[in-house]
Amino acid sequence: MDGGGRRSRSERAAGSRAATIQDVARLAEVSTATVSRALATPQRVSPEARARVAEAIAKTGYVPNTAARSLRSQKTHMVLVVLPDLANTFFSKILRGIEETLFEAGYGMIISDLDGSPEKEAHLSAFTAAGRVDGAILLNGHLFGQNRDEEGGSAPLSIPLVAICEAIPDARIPQVEIDNRVGAAGMIRHLASLGHRRIGYVSGPRGNILERERFQGYRDGLAAAGLAFDPDLVIPGDYTLEAGVAAGEAVVRGANRPTALFCTSDVMAIGAIRTLASAGLRVPEDISVVGFDDIEFAAVAEPPLTTVHQPRRELGQAGATALIDLLQGRKAPDRIRLKTDLVVRSSAAAPRRTMLKSAGLNA
C-alpha cells in the first residue's frame, strides 16, 4: 500500500483513469476534505492550500464525479423534459429555451418523447423514482406516474414539476402558457378592423383546453367589434393539415361564404389556403385566411401567413426558470401567462366590395 504510494501519484495524473479527489489531495499534499472545501467553500480554506489545490486540479484535469456527488448529495442537477412528440417542430424552439436556461443554471436536460405509449409513461415514473432527475417539465398536457397506488399509499412521485403549453387544470404545479384567449380576440379585432363582418372559425379538437380558450377569444373579439356570433360560421377542426383542407372544402361548398377564415392553427390555415386555391379562390383577394402559432413556415407560406405569434422560446425559458426556482427552494409563480403577438403578413386583406355586398344580401 505504502510502496505503491509514490508510483500512483504520478501515474494517476497521466493515466487513462479519470482523476479523483484523492489524486488531487495527494498532489496538493492536503486531505480530500480540503480539496472538497476548496471547491465548495473557498473562503474557508487558506490561500496557500487553495492555490496548491488549484494547481493540482489543473495538473490532473480533475472533474468531480457526478455519480458520487449525486449519491452523497441526493441531487442530480438533471431535469426531465416530457413531451408528446419530439418530431413536432412546434416543440423545438421551446426545448431550446428550456435548454439554454437550464444550462446557465448548471442543470442538464434529459428528454423523453412520450410518443403516446403508456408503457413508456410508466417507465418514466420509475425513472424519476430512481432519482435520476431533480425535477421535470411537462409539455404533454397531463401528469404522469400517478397511477401507482399499491398498499401503504406510497407517495405519488414528489419531485418538483412545471407544466408548459397545455395547462393541466387540476394539477397544483406552476404552469406556463400563452394567453390564447387574448391572442385570438386580437386577431378577430384585426380582421374586423380590415372590414370583415363574416369571420369563420376553424376550431381545435373538441374539449381541448387551447381550443376552449381560443374560442372564447373569438367570441370576445366578435363582441368587441360589435359583430354577432353565428354558429354556422364555426367549422370543426383538430389542428391538422387535413382538417384545414376539409375546412377549405366546407367553405368552398357552403353558401353564405365568410370573407375571412380564422384557423386556430397555422397548419390548418395552410391546408385551407391550398384547397381554396385549387378551387380558384385567391387569398387574400377573394378570401382572407389567418392562422395561430406562427410556426417557422408561416413566414414563407404562399401567401405569407398573418397569424398569432406564440413566444415559444420564452415559454421554455419561463418554464425552466420556474422549475429552477422550485429546485432551489424558492417559490415559483402558480401561473405565468405569456402575451402573444399579432403578426400581420399578407394572407389577410380588406374584403372586396362585392364580397361585402353578397354577404350582406345573403345574411
Partner DNA sequence: CTGTTAGCGCCTTCAC
Partner DNA sequence: GTGAAGGCGCTAACAG
> Is the CB of 16 or the CB of 41 nearer to a second copy?
16
| Sole window of 14-22, 41-49, 219-227, 320-328 interacting with a second copy (rule: CB under 8 A) | 14-22
Q: Which three cell numbers stand for residue 70?
A: 449525486
Q: Which of 276, 271, 288 is nearest to 191 (CA)?
A: 288
Residue 44 sits in the site that holds DNA (CB under 7 A): yes
Residue 65 sits in the site that holds DNA (CB under 7 A): yes
| Helix, strand or coil, per DSSP, at residue 278 | helix
For DNA, which residue of 68, 126, 223, 279 counts as binding (CB under 7 A)? 68
Counting every residue, how long is the chain?
A: 363
Residue 238 interaction partner, one of a second copy, DNA, none, beta carbon < 5-8 Å per kind: none
Residue 37 sits in the site that holds DNA (CB under 7 A): yes
Are residues 197 and 231 in contact, defined by beta-carbon separation less than 8 angstroms?
no
For a second copy, which residue of 212, 274, 337, 352 counts as binding (CB under 8 A)? 274
Residue 302 interaction partner, one of a second copy, DNA, none, beta carbon < 5-8 Å per kind: a second copy
Q: Which of 97, 98, 91, 195 is nearest to 137 (CA)?
A: 98
Q: Which of 291, 226, 230 is nearest to 255 (CA)?
A: 230
Three state DSSP letters for 90-154:
HHHHHHHHHHHHHHHCCCEEEEEECCCCHHHHHHHHHHHHCCCCCEEEECCCCCCCCCCCCCCCC
> Is the CB of 194 or the CB of 245 nearer to a second copy?
245
Q: Which amino acid is it at 41?
A: T
Q: Which of 87, 142, 92, 98 is nearest to 293 (CA)?
A: 92
3-state helix, strand, coil in the chain (%, to 5): 50, 15, 40
Residue 33 sits in the site that holds DNA (CB under 7 A): yes
Residue 73 sits in the site that holds DNA (CB under 7 A): yes
> Is the CB of 15 or the CB of 118 nearer to DNA?
15
Which x/- pattern, by CB under 8 A, does the window 101-130 give for a second copy? Answer: --x----xxxxxx-x----x--x--xx-xx
Residue 128 CA to residue 105 CA, distance in Å, equals: 20
Residue 22 sits in the site that holds DNA (CB under 7 A): yes
Residue 314 interaction partner, one of DNA, a second copy, none, beta carbon < 5-8 Å per kind: none
> Is the CB of 7 or the CB of 353 nearer to DNA?
7
For a second copy, which residue of 24, 25, 91, 198 counts as binding (CB under 8 A)? 91
Summarize as ranges the residues that interact with DNA (CB under 7 A): 17-18, 20-22, 29-37, 39-40, 43-46, 48-49, 62, 64-65, 68-69, 71-74
